[in-house]
């Protein structure tokens, strides 16, 4: 359904992020990395894509947004990243230094690895540092570190065409990590990979998260993936995406293949699945 749109909503919707839309995260709510309050997004086409959405993510938390295709998950991530402006509401992002400005200290991993085919793995990962005019020597050290973190140190001189899908995604992850962001936003990064590769990347992502202490907001439409990875799973309604239900996944750490085959895991998956059920059966709830 196309929602009506006022002219002021339309005027706001595609502008660069206005300062007014960025909120200071409440000093009283210490430890928040992301805070969305009453956020909606209406695209120029008049589509109400999202909201109103209220979402808080604690620093260091691993949260998944789970919802049917087209419910506004990517829209939500783009708003957090400051790539789009909200039509109404406020988006607050806080980095380690307590600065509050969307788009800062954020690494973004897209579903497609979007690598430059003519450039080596090393040069692909270096790109964000080049754009930020980081000196070559410092940049090289950081690129080396990011490639080691994703297990690709040996492949620095390879070209994307020589890599498997999983390795390309690792390059994309290294490119997001190379600026040492506080917050990683990941938009269905493993959806196109085969199951074995996806499981391996799930495990590697969890150890990176544990070791590097990043805040992760992970978008997926897989119940199983969301439960395996997350401390908290947020189930969204069909468009315009709102929060339908929220689940805390209190499983013992570290999560591993034993967890994946445990009764606990199956129980959580059933619970989360039930929250999605009205839409999984092909009967959109709204
Ligand atoms: P999801 O990631 O959950 O699949 P999206 O955030 O991509 O959903 O899209 C939510 C809704 O907004 C969809 O109906 C989609 O068609 C619409 N949409 C997304 N991006 C744009 C855009 N740039 N212009 C107009 N409509 C858009
Ligand atoms: Mg999407």
CA 79 – CA 51 distance, rounded (Å): 12
Measured in Å, residue 140 CA sits from the centre of ligand 1 at 37
Pairing of strands 106-109, 88-93: unpaired
For residue 67, report the distance from its CA to the centre of ligand 2, in Å. 10
> Given a cut of 70, is residue 2 above it in pLDDT?
no
> ∠ at Cα 181 (135, 217), nearest 5°?
155
The count of residues in the chain is: 286
In the sheet with 48-58, reading across from the earlier edge strand, the strands are 48-58, 32-42, 88-93
Question: Which residues fall within 8 angstroms of residue 277, CB to CB, at 6 or more apart?
Answer: none
Q: Between residues 104 and 243, which one has the greater pLDDT?
A: 243
Q: What is the pLDDT of residues 185-210, one digit of tens each?
A: 999 999 999 999 999 999 999 999 99
Q: Where are the domains of the chain?
A: 21-105+182-276, 109-180
Cα(121)–Cα(153) distance, rounded to whole angstroms? 10
Query: Which residue reads 């109404």 in tokens?
Result: 88
Q: Which band of pLDDT confidence, cut at 50, 70 and 90, is reported for residue 132?
A: confident
How much of the chain exceeds pLDDT 70, in percent?
83
Statement: residue 169 has pLDDT above 60: yes
Q: Does the global pTM surpass 0.75?
A: yes
Beta strands in the chain (DSSP E): 32-42, 48-58, 62-66, 88-93, 106-109, 183-187, 215-220, 232-236, 243-248
| Chain segment 148-160, per-residue pLDDT in tens | 999 999 999 999 9
93 C-alpha to ligand 2 centroid (Å): 21
- Over residues 112-121, the mean pLDDT reads 96
| Contact between 241 and 75 (Cβ < 8 Å) | yes
Q: Which CATH number is correct for 21-105+182-276, 3.40.50.1000, 3.40.50.300, 3.30.420.40, 3.40.50.150? A: 3.40.50.300
Helix (H, G, I), strand (E, B) or coil at 49: strand
3 state DSSP class of 141: helix
Nearest atom within ligand 1 for CA of residue 41? 12
């Amino acid at each position: 359904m196309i929602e009506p749109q006022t002219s002021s909503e339309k005027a706001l919707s595609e502008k660069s992020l206005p300062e007014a839309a960025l909120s200071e995260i409440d000093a009283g709510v210490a430890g928040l990395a992301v805070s969305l309050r009453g956020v909606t997004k209406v695209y120029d086409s008049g589509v109400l894509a999202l909201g109103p959405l209220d979402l808080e993510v604690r620093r260091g938390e691993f949260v998944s947004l789970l919802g049917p295709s087209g419910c506004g998950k990517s829209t939500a991530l783009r708003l957090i990243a400051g790539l789009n402006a909200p039509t109404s509401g406020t988006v607050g992002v806080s980095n380690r230094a307590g600065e509050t400005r969307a788009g800062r200290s954020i690494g973004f991993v897209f579903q497609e690895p979007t690598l430059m085919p003519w450039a080596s793995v090393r040069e692909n990962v270096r790109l964000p540092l080049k754009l930020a005019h980081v000196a070559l020597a410092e940049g090289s050290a950081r690129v080396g570190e990011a490639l080691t973190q994703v297990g690709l140190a040996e492949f620095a001189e390879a070209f994307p065409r020589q890599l498997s899908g999983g390795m390309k995604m690792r390059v994309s992850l290294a490119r997001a990590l190379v600026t040492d962001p506080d917050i990683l936003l990941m938009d269905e990064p493993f959806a196109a990979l085969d199951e074995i590769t996806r499981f391996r990347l799930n495990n590697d992502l969890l150890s990176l998260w544990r070791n590097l202490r990043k805040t992760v907001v992970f978008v997926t439409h897989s119940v199983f993936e969301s439960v395996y990875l997350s401390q908290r799973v947020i189930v969204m309604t069909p468009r315009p995406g709102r929060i339908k239900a929220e689940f805390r996944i209190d499983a013992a750490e570290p999560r591993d293949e034993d967890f994946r085959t445990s009764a606990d895991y199956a129980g959580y998956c059933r619970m989360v699945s039930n929250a999605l059920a009205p839409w999984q059966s092909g009967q959109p709830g709204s």
